[in-house]
Amino acid sequence: MIKRTSAVAGLFFAIGCQPAPSHDPTLVLLVSIDQLRGDMLETYDPVFTGGLRRILDEGLRFENGTHDHAATATAPGHHTLSTGVHPTRHGVIGNSWLEELDGEWRSVYSVEDLDRTILGYPEAEGRSPANGYRSGLPDWILANDPLSRIVSLSRKDRSAIGLAAQAQGEVYWLSEAGGEFVTSDYYHNEYPEWIQDFNAQTLPGVYSDSLWESMTPPSAFSLARPDSSDFERGDGVSTLPYRAADRVDVADPTGLNSWRYQRTPFPDRAVIAAAIEAIHVLELGQRGSVDYLGLGLSQTDVIGHRFGPRSREQLDNLIRLDLELGRLLDTLDQVLGTEGWILALSADHGILEIPEHLAEQGVNASRLTRDDQTHFREVMAEATEGDPTPETVKSSIEALPFVAAAYTLNEVESGTPTDSFATLFANSHSRTRVTGQQGIHGVYMRRQPNILSWGGNATTHGSPYYYDRHVPIIFLGPGVSAGPSSER
């Protein structure tokens, strides 16, 4: 995706570095829909009537867009979207990774910053973009005009921070337990009045549901799988509607907030409501400067992990998101006019179809078992005993039936990759940051396609295969010609 991502950054940078006469866009929007695989908008196209409908009909759509790196996860993807470079250059190679300190390997979360604190939560681990190496689109806009305003919002901290790159602006994410938008002292020493008012007055009206009912018309049911499948992860219930009272004590705000956060579409509604509030209160795009609004919409990922991309739950989630994005675009038109803003929509990564669903369709797909996990650990323990070479570890890993190939650091760094997948790993590579036990020993591993790693999700991402790298790339705004493009 690097060529197309650079196009996103380059287009917006050109806008942001020009004076802002009345006829030019004064607000740049970068919208990431987490886990929105590149074919999902086409799959569910018939049900869209709101913002997604307009983006699809009026936008320039690159239908074969990909992330050209192996680290198909939230943090790397969002940093790539905002910076226009691969993880090997911006440094965020995973949601978390291992770093060696004083001879010991420790886990590092992508946006952790132990020198920072979360405002209002002094005991919580701090957050900032300190682990990233590169500036991005928000930084470039600010460098051109210090009066520009940078806003980045998401349910996830790593998404809000990633879309803001290194910029210090209005960057907020949802607290799972508290149910309000929070930030760290990297961005503010205290909460600005506007976000305090939003948390206290507006948020309860858009983030208070205890029931998720279907909005999907029966005529659209055929776009998704049947509503109940054994391989979904609804924890005993995998049919809409979902009730908080079935899982938590609804009198306990912490449990209720966690239910919304982990199991429903509602956080994205809160994010878009906060974006609309920011447009009005901060006068985004209305002051003669070019401003930036980044939105990380996370619940497609949450619901996809539990129920899969072709589930009735995902269909319902996208119907809701379509309507919320319609509200956002209507607000932009009312405040700035149709020529006053420009938008890019993409995703941080794609997703594997649920293996059991693929198997039903005759595809060779499977889910690794606990025995596979145990066997892998035994093989790794034996292969890494003593002082092994990366080549020894590689050979042992490649003997496993669910492993397609392994690559040593020398192969990845050689500049003459053994295959196209080695290039994808090179684009996610760091000498000082590694993922997995095999990474400690200088090896990258590629599983066979359509094989899901062990864990509690219905499905996941993280591979270098096309289904995990394929994402939509759509531009909408003045001067952008509508229609599809098959260019990659």
pLDDT in tens, 263-274: 999 999 999 999
CB atoms within 10 A of CB 327: 16
pLDDT band at 487 (very low <50, low <70, confident <90, very high): confident
Q: H or E segment at 52?
A: helix 51-58
- pLDDT, position 228: 75
- ∠ CA 380-382-388, nearest 5°, is 85
The fold of 2-356+467-485 is: Alkaline Phosphatase, subunit A (3.40.720)
Q: Looking at residues 87-107, what average pLDDT do you find?
A: 96
Residue 283 has pLDDT above 90, yes or no: yes
Across the range 455-484, mean pLDDT stands at: 95
Residue 218's pLDDT band, with cuts at 50, 70 and 90, is: very high
The predicted pLDDT at position 113 comes to 99
Residue 6 is predicted with a pLDDT of 46
pLDDT tens digits, residue range 7-49?
455 555 544 444 444 468 999 999 999 999 999 999 999 999 9
pLDDT in tens, 285-335: 999 999 999 999 999 999 999 999 999 999 999 999 999 999 999 999 999
DSSP secondary structure string, 272-286?
HHHHHHHHHHTTTT-
User: What's the pLDDT score for residue 8?
Assistant: 57
Predicted local confidence at residue 253, as pLDDT? 95
Please give the average per-residue pLDDT across 452-473, as a whole number: 93
| C-alpha atoms less than 13 angstroms from C-alpha of 258 in its C-beta half-sphere | 11
Distance CA 322, CA 41 (A): 10
pLDDT bucket at 3, cuts 50 / 70 / 90:
very low
Say what percent of the chain tops pLDDT 70.
95
pLDDT at residue 1 in the model:
45
Region at 204 (left for phi over 0; alpha for psi -120 to 50; beta for the rest)? alpha
Q: For residue 296, what pLDDT is reported?
A: 99
Q: How far is CA 326 from the centre of its chain?
A: 21
Q: State CA 468 to chain mean position distance.
A: 12
The band of 227, judged by pLDDT with boundaries at 50, 70 and 90, is confident
Residues 6+ positions from 22 with CB-CB distance below 8 Å? none
Phi, psi of 142, rounded to the nearest 5 degrees: -65, -40
Tell whether the model's pLDDT for residue 107 goes beyond 80: yes
pLDDT in tens, 66-83: 999 999 999 999 999 999
Q: What three-state secondary structure class fits 360?
A: helix
CA distance 468 to 35: 8
| Confidence bin at 416 (pLDDT 50/70/90) | confident
Neighbours of 176 (CB within 10 A): 15
Looking at every residue in the chain, the average pLDDT score rounds to 94
Q: How many residues does the chain have?
A: 488
Q: Is a pLDDT exceeding 70 seen at residue 357?
A: yes
**pLDDT at 181 (0 to 100):** 99
> What secondary structure does DSSP assign to 64-131, as a single string?
T-B--SS--SHHHHHHHHHH-S-HHHH---SSEEEEEETTEEEEEETTB-TT--BTTBTTSPPB-STT
Q: Is the CB of residue 156 less than 8 Å from the CB of residue 74?
A: yes
Range(s) of the chain covered by CATH 3.40.720.10? 2-356+467-485
Q: Which of 11-15, 196-200, 463-467 has the lowest mean pLDDT?
A: 11-15
Q: Structure tokens of 305?
A: 């992990």
The DSSP 8-state label assigned to residue 45 in this structure reads G
Predicted pLDDT at 229:
77
Q: What is the mean pLDDT of residues 406-414?
A: 92
